[in-house]
């Protein structure tokens, strides 16, 4: 997001415009009135990355405007970043500037933080990282109270740990998530909390068992597990699967079966088109579960046609979408068999055209 679009004094107007456009896009599918969840106007983003620009003895965080991709724009203040990132930016830059070992061929700086203030910094280089770099990095970690990862081609050095731990209160319980460097996490913690509350409210009373596709690190899996007898959660990315396994154990969740499968493979298994050895770890056959509800939080491309057809076999479809356009495409088919019973809009990315959506579809 170009900083020129940061206009907190106009936030309500900008949000209303996005809401109107999204409601108009989805109006043909007759949703109920949308519940709208705004974002904090500033200090909302828990992740940030900057290119590093070297000019003489000066080192700057920079971004590039889409209309001038070769012209670096120094970033001295980043008001949409969370408080921990804002507090770290200046002291980190000062220490990098005065340390030849840390600044030499430094290419990029990445921040990953949480609502509770945990922080991980990743430094990306165009050179191998030797033991002298590690010694300097360890001092940096001690000075700033952070975890640190150094990356270069085919190399990763971890100082302390390569993750942060997020904690959020949902329905009266505090949940903990391990969020791994370079793994997917929700960037807006305040809005993510609202998304989790909405998903849980929508799941109340649905009963039976839940199938979850694209579960990631278990962001939705953990709180949703309280509303179903069993959750079969699926994810393809190994990093996310390992994080989800850790999070299930850390939160003492025992009714979730986590299976490493792509959505397309789950569809094949549900249809009986293909057997997967990974499903042999389930306590019972997939077809023996009382799978009344499916939860999907797909990538921007939305559901592929086969998965779209598969989820129509469920009584309830909980769908969180990061792309209203592809959601609209999926709804053209899904609303042939289901009606939209609940509808929500989440302003995950203020001052952009992006709007996150949630729909609960129930069989007609």
Distances (CA, A) of 107 to 77, 242, 309: 19, 29, 45
Active-site residue identified among 212, 308, 322, 357: 322
* Rounded distance between C-alpha atoms, residue 205 and residue 43, angstroms: 36
Is 110 an annotated catalytic residue? Answer: no
H-assigned helices in 213-303:
221-224, 238-250, 263-270
Give CA 249 to chain center in angstroms. 20
Q: Which of 181, 235, 308, 356 is catalytic?
A: 356
What is the longest distance spanned by two Cα atoms in the chain? Answer: 67
Q: Are 178 and 217 in contact (CB under 8 A)?
A: yes
- Going across the sheet that includes 256-260, the strands are 35-37, 338-346, 356-363, 316-321, 291-296, 209-213, 231-235, 256-260
Spatial distance between the Cα atoms of 361 and 364, rounded to a whole number of angstroms: 9
Question: What stretches of the chain show up as alpha helix (H) in DSSP?
Answer: 11-26, 83-98, 100-103, 131-144, 189-203, 221-224, 238-250, 263-270, 305-311, 324-334
Q: How many CB atoms lie within 10 A of CB 13?
A: 9
322 is an active site residue: yes
SS3 147: strand
Q: What is the C-alpha to C-alpha distance for residues 209 and 200, in angstroms, rounded to an integer? A: 14
- The residues annotated with a catalytic role in the active site are 322, 356
């Amino acid at each position: 997001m170009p900083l020129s679009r940061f206009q907190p004094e106009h936030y309500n107007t900008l949000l209303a415009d996005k809401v109107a456009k999204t409601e108009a896009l989805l109006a043909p599918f007759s949703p109920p009135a949308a519940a709208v969840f705004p974002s904090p106007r500033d200090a909302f983003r828990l992740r940030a990355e900057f290119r590093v620009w070297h000019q003489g003895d000066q080192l700057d965080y920079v971004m590039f405007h889409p209309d001038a991709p070769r012209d670096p724009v120094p970033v001295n203040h980043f008001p949409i970043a969370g408080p921990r990132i804002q507090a770290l930016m200046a002291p980190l830059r000062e220490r990098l500037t005065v340390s030849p070992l840390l600044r030499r061929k430094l290419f990029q700086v990445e921040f990953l933080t949480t609502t509770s203030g945990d922080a991980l910094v990743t430094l990306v280089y165009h050179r191998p990282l030797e033991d002298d770099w590690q010694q300097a990095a360890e001092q940096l970690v001690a000075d700033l109270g952070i975890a640190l990862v150094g990356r270069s081609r085919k190399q990763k050095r971890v100082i302390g740990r390569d993750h942060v731990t997020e904690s959020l209160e949902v329905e009266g319980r505090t949940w903990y998530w391990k969020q791994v460097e370079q793994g997917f996490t929700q960037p807006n913690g305040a809005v993510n909390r609202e998304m989790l509350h909405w998903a849980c409210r929508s799941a109340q009373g649905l009963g039976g068992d839940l199938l979850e596709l694209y579960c990631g690190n278990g962001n939705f899996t953990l709180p949703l597990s309280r509303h179903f007898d069993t959750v079969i959660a699926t994810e393809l990315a190994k990093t996310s699967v390992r994080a989800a396994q850790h999070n299930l154990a850390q939160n003492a969740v025992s009714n979730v079966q986590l299976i490493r499968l792509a959505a397309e493979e789950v569809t094949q298994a549900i249809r009986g088109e293909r057997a997967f050895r990974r499903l042999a770890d389930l306590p019972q056959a997939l077809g023996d579960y009382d799978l009344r509800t499916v939860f999907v939080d797909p990538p921007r491309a939305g559901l592929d046609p086969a998965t779209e057809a598969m989820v129509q076999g469920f009584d309830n479809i909980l769908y969180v979408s990061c792309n209203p356009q592809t959601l609209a495409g999926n709804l053209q088919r899904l609303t042939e068999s289901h009606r939209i019973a609940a509808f929500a809009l989440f302003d995950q990315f203020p001052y952009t055209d992006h709007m996150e959506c949630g729909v609960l579809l129930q069989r007609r």
